[in-house]
Amino acid sequence: MDFDLTNQPEIVQQAYAYVLQGWEIAHEWLVSPAAWSQFGLLAAAFLLAWLLTRRLRPWLTRVLTPEASRQSLLASTRRFLLIFVPLLLPLLAWAFTGIGESLTRAIFNSGAVIAFGKRVFLLLAARILVREIVQDGFLKVLGRMILLPVMALYAVGLLDVATERLNELTVSLGNIEFTLMSVIRGIIAGSILFWLGRWSNDQTGAYIHKQEDMRPATRQLAAKAAEFSIFGLAFLLLMNIVGIPLTSLAVLGGAIGVGLGLGLQKIASNYISGIILLLEGQATVGDYVELDSGEAGTIVKTTARAMILETYDGRWIVVPNEDFITTRVINYSDQGSANRYEAPFSVSYKTDINLVPDIVEAAVAKHPGVLDTPYPPDCELRGFGDSGVDFAVEFWVNGIDDGANKYTSDVLFLIWNALKDHDIEIPYPHRVIELQHPTESPAPEAQEA
């Protein structure tokens, strides 16, 4: 395989040199007894790993699978470890191959073949990781485009050469200078760090929200503080991995400060207002609020910038946090406080109205949602209408009379049935029409006379 490539481009000559080097290594392995023994050890290591995997995988799956109803931190950790069970075969093969490598180097003073096998098993582990374990779309694409090619270069022994070439290529951004290898390393490390950060944030947030002893606003504040801490730490680690000194970010920090002072005042105000709301607990998830602008709904989500309100017709309203600080807000829920409503009705003038309050109050008190405190149901005489005597019953409930709760409707049904049971007539409008006949005028003939 001796060709004259002096007139060809440099990249073709280098590729030919690598092919020639690979051919020489393969030829040496094929005629070497030490190489054949290492191939045998690789086969034996893989077979042993396969047999152990058949026995260990069902046991590990059974041990790491928690009950579906359990949502504790330990159960979540077990579910997380369960997704890595498919890596058992290549990792066991890699471990057994490592043991065989130490033996062959001690006996033959050579272990190139078995070292190549170890790298191949790691390539298989990376392939399983990308295809079966990683579910996030971005990480899956990243694994296919970067991780698998890197592991393939490592398996064939060209990773050091590629790393050296990437380290020679530098990129300058103002006063910051870094190599192309740093960019690739930063993308890989950043993706892993922020993926782990997102998972850690989800687990931490779920754990904090289960602490019923804490006030809802305190839970929200703790969850936000944990989120900022986790991703802040991930960002600092990423800067360290990429090799960018934090002092070089001073200019960027100054630019951000100027931006906050000029164009980002509203955003900064909303962020600060969100922190104040979490600290004071004026409005939190689950509260039904009405803004001064007339917008009303239940708070379903709080973010660093805005509150998300859900109306009873299914619409979501994004309200900036600043509006909760600078305008009047009516909080109907206030973390479980009672609200008062009233249901108007009328009875006939033929009714003994002295009996109505006791009958109606007793009927309304039977509703499971009506409270005895701060006040029991109170039936009041409101006036004498055109068609009947007007009453209204006031009652207190925990919640809002809308959406899933129909308190006023239920109370009116109770009033109707109670009045019917006591033969009390509910009036409807009556109108009396008087027809007046005009006096007969004299006949035309008589007028002419």
Q: What 3-state class would DSSP assign to 145?
A: helix
Summarize the confidence of residues 118-134 as an average pLDDT. Answer: 86
Q: What is the pLDDT of residues 367-399, one digit of tens each?
A: 998 998 888 999 999 999 888 999 999 999 887
CB proximity list for 303: less than 8 A, separation 6 or greater: 274
Tokens matching residue 436:
């007046």
- Lowest mean per-residue pLDDT among 75-79, 82-86, 107-111, 191-195: 107-111
CB proximity list for 12: less than 8 A, separation 6 or greater: 5
- Alpha carbon distance 364, 415 (integer Å): 7
Place 95 in a pLDDT band, splitting at 50, 70 and 90.
confident
Q: How confident is the model at residue 325, as a pLDDT? A: 82
Summarize the confidence of residues 47-70 as an average pLDDT. Answer: 84
Q: How confident is the model at residue 449, as a pLDDT? A: 42
Between 21 and 300, the more confident residue is 300
In this structure, which amino acid lies at residue 29?
Answer: W
DSSP 130: I
Tokens matching residue 94:
């890699």
Place 221 in a pLDDT band, splitting at 50, 70 and 90.
low
Place 203 in a pLDDT band, splitting at 50, 70 and 90.
confident
Between 421 and 215, the more confident residue is 421
- Alpha carbon distance 296, 283 (integer Å): 13
Between 273 and 92, the more confident residue is 92
Percent of the chain at pLDDT above 90?
A: 13
CA atoms within 13 A on the CB side of 256: 7
In angstroms, the Cα distances linking 433 to 380, 430, 436 are 33, 10, 10
- Alpha carbon distance 420, 412 (integer Å): 12
Check: CB of residue 283 under 8 Å from CB of residue 289: yes
- Alpha carbon distance 45, 38 (integer Å): 10
Between 368 and 76, the more confident residue is 368
In this structure, which amino acid lies at residue 3?
Answer: F
Check: CB of residue 148 under 8 Å from CB of residue 127: yes
Tokens matching residue 219:
């839970």
Walk me through the domains of the chain, giving residue ranges and CATH numbers: 32-157 (no CATH), 170-263 (no CATH), 284-331 (2.30.30.60), 339-421 (3.30.70.100)
Q: What is the pLDDT of residues 399-442, one digit of tens each?
A: 777 766 788 999 999 999 999 999 999 888 767 777 777 665 55
In angstroms, the Cα distances linking 69 to 60, 82, 84, 342 are 20, 17, 22, 42
Place of tokens 């109670």: 418
First-residue to last-residue Cα distance in the chain: 148
Torsion angle of alpha carbons 112, 117, 122, 128, nearest 10°?
Answer: 160
Sign of CA dihedral 223, 224, 229, 235: positive
Between 320 and 171, the more confident residue is 320
Q: What is the pLDDT of residues 352-361, one digit of tens each?
A: 999 999 999 9
- Alpha carbon distance 354, 424 (integer Å): 12
- Alpha carbon distance 426, 348 (integer Å): 6
> What is the chain's mean pLDDT, rounded?
77
- Lowest mean per-residue pLDDT among 6-20, 30-44, 235-249: 6-20
Summarize the confidence of residues 197-215 as an average pLDDT. Answer: 73
Check: CB of residue 287 under 8 Å from CB of residue 339: no
Q: Which neighbouring-strand residues pair with 392? A: 344, 380
Q: What is the pLDDT of residues 259-279, one digit of tens each?
A: 656 556 777 777 788 777 777
Summarize the confidence of residues 99-124 as an average pLDDT. Answer: 74
Strands (DSSP E) contained in 206-349 are 288-291, 296-302, 306-310, 316-320, 329-331, 339-347
How are beta strands 296-302 and 288-291 bridged, if at all?
Answer: antiparallel
- Alpha carbon distance 271, 273 (integer Å): 5
- CB-neighbour burial class of residue 67 (10 A; exposed 0-12, middle 13-18, buried 19+): exposed
